[in-house]
Amino acid sequence: MPIAAVNGLRLYFERAGAGEPLLFISGTGGDLRAKPNQFDGPFPKAFDMISHDQRGLGRSDKPDVRYSMADYADDAAALMASQGWDSAHVVGVSFGGMVAQELALRHPARVRRLVLACTSPGGAGGASFPFHEIEHLKGEERAKHLTPISDTRRDDVWAAANPDLYAQIIAMTAADPYADEPGRAQGAHRQLEARADHDAWERLGEIAVPTLVAGGRYDGIALPETLERMAGRIPGAELRFYEGGHMFMIQDRAAVRDMIAFLSAPN
């Protein structure tokens, strides 16, 4: 198993592709055992890509202490260094976008170009949906609660008109084959604590790399108006919306294509 020893932790990571280096930071509960994932998409066809199970998740260590967004950013920077990368392009999705903001602020020399997808700055700029408030919901109950939030088009009327697709979405969202693993619940809880504490709003003006802020028009988790505020706060940032909700990157094929073009552009 590819393991990097960083910051006193063992982080599981994977690497694939060729080209310029790209660090892909995934979202809440991200686990590289879940398939398909970022390695099954277009990014490794365009870049030398690394992605990892963040602390508390997947096959990485899960210390039962409070985590901070700075911890996650420092882990990402140390992982890059462990692989001989001085800098890389960075794509951060949802929670990963919060980590990516902190990475660009704490380790600016490590980031070449930055994509912040379906994420939020926190603080006065606005937070993403408070997952810590529904931590008690599990399985199908959680999936049914989140489906119309993740994509606001999928309301009760839509569900009644599309029963088979709705049932498929609920089943996929509810599935967690690793739920009973030792440390999994506590690691997930620690991630939600760090997520709730995230606040980069006042510091966003310090991000000095080319940045693309992207999201779905129907996202009830990372709201379009929050993305607009965030993009307006980052000097020179581009803002693009796509046909989809929180999963817009797989709902609208133009999204990843545009991200690759943005990351491939000369500075």
The two three-digit tokens of residue 251, written as one number: 């709902």
Phi-psi region of 112 (alpha: psi -120 to 50; beta: other; left: phi over 0): alpha
Contact call for residues 237 and 22 (beta carbons, < 8 A) = no
Contact call for residues 77 and 49 (beta carbons, < 8 A) = no
> In terms of Cα–Cα distance, which of 221, 232, 207 is closest to 110?
207
Confidence category of residue 1, pLDDT binned at 50, 70, 90: confident
pLDDT per position as a tens digit, 19-53: 999 999 999 999 999 999 999 999 999 999 999 99
The pLDDT, as a whole number, for residue 267 is 75
pLDDT per position as a tens digit, 190-219: 999 999 999 999 999 999 999 999 999 999
The pTM for the full model equals: 0.96
pLDDT per position as a tens digit, 93-147: 999 999 999 999 999 999 999 999 999 999 999 999 999 999 999 999 999 999 9
Q: What is the share, in percent, of the chain residues with pLDDT greater than 90?
A: 97
Mean local confidence (pLDDT), 51-78:
97
Residue 64 has pLDDT above 90, yes or no: yes
> In terms of Cα–Cα distance, which of 206, 215, 222, 98 is closest to 150?
222
Sign of the alpha-carbon dihedral angle for 48, 87, 230, 236: negative
Contact call for residues 135 and 189 (beta carbons, < 8 A) = yes
